[in-house]
């Protein structure tokens, strides 16, 4: 029986998870209209969608690198942007809702 080794780094050490907030901005020209759904789908594979172009979740370093690599295939460096905020843990952040609070959002105290 094979063990799932996705959580291990080379050398057998566990990878640390980081809490990530990812925000993207895609210029909505003709190409941007085609790129936007691809960027959304890519982010959705790794993170939880919380608001228009904002995602959050816990990822291992290797997952962050895979996400970055995948997004680089879509993002136009001269027009679009992706910003990633990293924290050791979700507990170090406080989230406040100003306006409509979506039920699908995760909770941060």
Q: Convert the pLDDT of each residue in 33-44 to its tens digit.
A: 999 999 999 999
**Could you give the C-alpha distances from 28 to 4, 14, 25, 88, 100, in angstroms and in order?**
41, 40, 9, 33, 25
Distance CA 9, CA 46 (A): 18
- State the greatest distance between any 2 C-alpha atoms of the chain, in Å, as a whole number: 51
In CATH, which of 3.40.50.1000, 3.20.190.10, 3.40.350.10, 3.30.70.240 is domain 17-89?
3.30.70.240
Provide, rounded to the nearest whole percent, the portion of the chain with pLDDT above 90.
63
Q: Convert the pLDDT of each residue in 39-63 to its tens digit.
A: 999 999 999 999 999 999 999 999 9
pTM: 0.75
The residue extents of the domains of the chain are 17-89
């Amino acid at each position: 029986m094979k063990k799932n080794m996705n959580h291990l780094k080379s050398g057998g050490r566990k990878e640390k998870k980081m809490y990530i907030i990812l925000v993207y901005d895609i210029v909505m020209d003709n190409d941007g209209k085609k790129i936007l759904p691809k960027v959304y789908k890519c982010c959705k594979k790794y993170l939880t969608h919380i608001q228009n172009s904002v995602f959050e979740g816990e990822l291992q370093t290797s997952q962050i690198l895979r996400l970055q690599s995948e997004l680089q295939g879509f993002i136009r460096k001269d027009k679009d942007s992706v910003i990633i905020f990293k924290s050791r843990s979700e507990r170090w952040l406080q989230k406040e809702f100003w306006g409509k609070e979506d039920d699908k959002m995760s909770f941060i105290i």
